[in-house]
Structure 1
């Protein structure tokens, strides 16, 4: 489709050629209007950017989400128009600005451009609605957070001749829908996966991959999955997964509707799976079993949200109630008895929870991503979960409390997140399988030196198990442990870690990939919960590396890392180096899901 026809279709799906001039005039007016305000000027520069500007590292001015829509609060939405920009189109306006190299042209042809009707159906606003600043920003964030979208922004245009009507223009920048992940541990251990996150331009996702490990009895393995989003405009997504490797054989069906925005009233989920010859019940299990496990798992939950009054215009408070059920039934497992291998008892869990949250966002960049707009949540979540467990040899009650809070310091431009969670079971008068979690994260302001940008990250995490089963333990191999660490000798029921990282965003770019350098120091102690955490054995990890990311691609961030681990345990060698695809870390956005037991991991 030509750019002229794109302009035409943007303004009206059936405009004729003689209205082309009006389309051009609209974008001229749009530019003129955008340049009157610093925020909209920045948004205009984001979407209508010339190639030479893409070479710069630009830190965006922070703004509170929804602030730009407040002047239009209460006006009626006349039209909602969606424009989708291909991933490798450098300029949306100037017909002289073409995609620069043949590879990008070919990629645009291979790319599944997001369907405008699909994007429009995902919105929780429509023509004829009264514009609400918070709801508009929520819808904008919803589209921006889709795994195949680089960025999305609403621009409000008053309707000529009316003081009550406005048009909403949603500008969406696609990511190239095809991607692959590769993890090269060594010559004898490799995995690769190919996927498309936006099949047919409607958010369907297909994955297929294989792995090879010559040291295992089953050296070859595969995984395949297919996910469908927003079935029949119901907001329900579903996915089917198959996998077979030396770790396990799995078939799983998952159906889910999330509490996506403040406008979502009902949510729920259903998961059914069959697992064979696995050494774990779940990837985060605190037990590595030597005997193969065969089991079935089922879970279902349903939730309702209630809007509460809030004194803040751009913050919404909600109350949630959820009910959930899960069942775990083994076919192959270690020998069990009332006091033997309790972790492998068949069980059914019935839970209910009540939660209260307040969330608002501000927008920035160069935090976890390399330039795209990031929605940073701040506010709080309090959740109380209770229920009972019907086990093979016993009957227990469960109770847990979680509290999360995030604060954005406007003067220092820093961000702080804290979490406290405590949960456990009551077997008659005995408290057991308790779990205490304390997490703290600090993100510094963005500092500038010439064309470079620097940011520091600090994490302090503490986890202790209270009267856990004898076979249960935690390690330093988890995301809150020491990065790159992999050992089953360093284990216990109490863990304390301090993680420090410096990230340097550079102006360097090659083939569309931006470069960032990082260095880190991780310190962790782990051992028995009968001792002070500082008396347990300490381990260290120090390293540096490069992260490469192309925001136009759905690829994971490519990370090349070299690290040293002084006092490494005997089952783990130092130094370590490798290349892998890394998921971008996510902020906790105080979302509510189905009720569940606190993970001891």
Structure 2
């Protein structure tokens, strides 16, 4: 970079509203309701953006820090895009000014997750992701259902990013939290979360704090034999330190990083479902752990689009991330179980010359007690996004994901199921389970060059196939075959904070007790950004979930 090492004289913030185009800010988007939306929207205040800057005035310009800071601002959930531009100074060749250009999203959003009549069932929420332009989120969720008592339930949530330029804070009270048994929204909860992400590969510190209490209430008048009554509390804290971070800034050719962290958590049930008394169940057992983790990573980022979004800038990682975890784990189920744990979570990201993206991933872990291995597991797989193909007025991208999972000597952890990202998506229920699972998923997306009221559209078609093998069978030839086929349409307005809207039809030829053969779904909570994190809290390996969306 020709400006490397020059002194940053001033940093200027230029913010643009959601109705302005990023390539030509003199142009404004004009469609039905723009004027009304403008009156409801408060542009992000300059000090909010300035608080997200770790590049400083009167310091030497470092191109790596500038690129990382641009990506950090772009990741804020109320910002659509960001650029950091360099202005030269004719009268001072040793200094430059930086111009931080940001474009807002319209920050009022919502989600209608369920709507039905006979009986009435309405579930949804409304949120303001950038209340008063101050980088704070308020959200209210509601449920109105005839089969529920009382028929009305609500959720309140407040989130503030970058409190005192140090942590992100979230506080919430809800009567409609999904329960631990089957995700029915009859759990009452309150929680407080503080988190400090590793916002750049040379940042010093990361960590988090989580306190909360959770209890189920029989809102749907279920028989005692079916209702799981429980109450528990969570204490969770972790802290990590970036090793040798200052060396990177003095030698930017060394991109490999090392991070060490420690975590303590305790989930304690003061009231446990009588149906599970004296049984192993990972969700309902008391658990306490002290875990350490050593992570070494090298992650750069590649700017692209049409992965999760509809044309806006997206940051996709390239490099590797390997986390080695070990520690003490205490679980109380059928017995009081105290064990040593060790595990690995490894990811390798590749960007091809033609603009395709590969991710290879491996998760493996297990417990040791009296010299015997228990609850061991391995999950291995790969994901691939093809280059963007251009055909007439269409942009086409192909996605493929495959994985294989196996458990060994299972005792206290949950068996493998299909109702998750490593099985069949949108498959309902957890009554189908096994000890081995092999899955292949393929999806083709077609991005149309057409807008309606600012919304862009992308039809898609997909197919899933999964083999599930009983735990007592060592070979796949005893597996049961499950598959799903479907198609749908996604729509998104890139200027709004609303998530992508998805209409999906799916057919499962093999029907099960808890899963219908044909489903039609409308989902307004589809992910629209890749959730890239350098490091995360130490934990055991999970095989039925990808909570941080760390898989492409």
Q: What is the TM-score when the length of structure 2 is the normalising length?
A: 0.89
Distance 2:375 2:226 in 1: 19
Could you tell me which residue of structure 2 aligns to residue 239 of structure 1? Answer: 170
Distance 1:208 1:571 in 2: 31
Cα-to-partner distance string for 1:503-552 (whole Å, 9 max, x where unaligned): 00101110000011100001112232333345311111111111000010
Task: State the 1:278 CA deviation.
Answer: 7.3
2:438 to 485, 496, 500: 496
Which structure has the greater CA radius of gyration? 1
Could you tell me which residue of structure 1 aligns to residue 523 of structure 2? Answer: 580
Counterparts in 2 of 1:14-413, with a 5 A limit?
70-90=1-21, 97=27, 100-101=30-31, 103-184=33-114, 186-187=116-117, 188=119, 189-215=121-147, 219-234=151-166, 236-245=167-176, 246-277=185-216, 291-307=228-244, 316-334=255-273, 340-341=279-280, 343=282, 344-392=284-332, 393-410=336-353, 412-413=354-355
Could you tell me which residue of structure 2 aligns to residue 537 of structure 1? Answer: 480
> What's the secondary structure of 1:107's corresponding residue?
helix
Task: State the 1:169 CA deviation.
Answer: 0.8
Cα-to-partner distance string for 1:195-232 (whole Å, 9 max, x where unaligned): 01111212111110112454556654322110111112
Q: Is the 8 A contact 2:228 2:273 kept in 1?
A: yes
Change (3 A) 1:202 1:314: farther
Count of residue pairs the alignment pairs up = 521
Task: State the 1:423 CA deviation.
Answer: 0.9
Distance 2:458 2:32 in 1: 26
Could you tell me which residue of structure 1 aligns to residue 450 of structure 2? Answer: 508
Question: What's the RMSD between the two structures over aligned residues?
Answer: 2.5
2:375 to 424, 427, 433: 433
Distance 1:295 1:591 in 2: 31
Task: State the 1:479 CA deviation.
Answer: 2.1
> What's the secondary structure of 1:129's corresponding residue?
coil
> Any gaps of 5 or more consecutive residues in structure 2?
177-184, 219-224, 545-552
Cα-to-partner distance string for 1:120-157 (whole Å, 9 max, x where unaligned): 11111011111111111000000001011100011111
Task: State the 1:90 CA deviation.
Answer: 4.4
Q: Which piece of structure 1 moves more, 431-440 or 163-172?
A: 431-440
Task: State the 1:575 CA deviation.
Answer: 1.6
> What's the secondary structure of 1:136's corresponding residue?
helix
Change (3 A) 1:222 1:465: farther
Could you tell me which residue of structure 2 aligns to residue 565 of structure 1? Answer: 508
> Any gaps of 5 or more consecutive residues in structure 1?
1-69, 280-287
Distance 1:585 1:480 in 2: 19
Q: Which piece of structure 1 moves more, 450-459 or 488-497?
A: 488-497
Cα-to-partner distance string for 1:50-94 (whole Å, 9 max, x where unaligned): xxxxxxxxxxxxxxxxxxxx2211111111111111001348877
Distance 1:215 1:473 in 2: 32
Could you tell me which residue of structure 2 aligns to residue 6 of structure 1? Answer: none
Q: Is the 8 A contact 1:324 1:594 kept in 2?
A: yes
Q: Which piece of structure 1 moves more, 217-226 or 353-362?
A: 217-226
Change (3 A) 1:513 1:534: farther
Cα-to-partner distance string for 1:293-326 (whole Å, 9 max, x where unaligned): 2111110011100246679957722110101100
Distance 2:87 2:97 in 1: 5
Change (3 A) 1:566 1:337: closer
Could you tell me which residue of structure 2 aligns to residue 546 of structure 1? Answer: 489
Change (3 A) 1:315 1:540: farther
2:375 equivalent to 1:445: no
Task: State the 1:345 CA deviation.
Answer: 3.9
Change (3 A) 1:405 1:93: closer
> What's the secondary structure of 2:256's corresponding residue?
strand
Q: Which piece of structure 1 moves more, 311-320 or 184-193?
A: 311-320
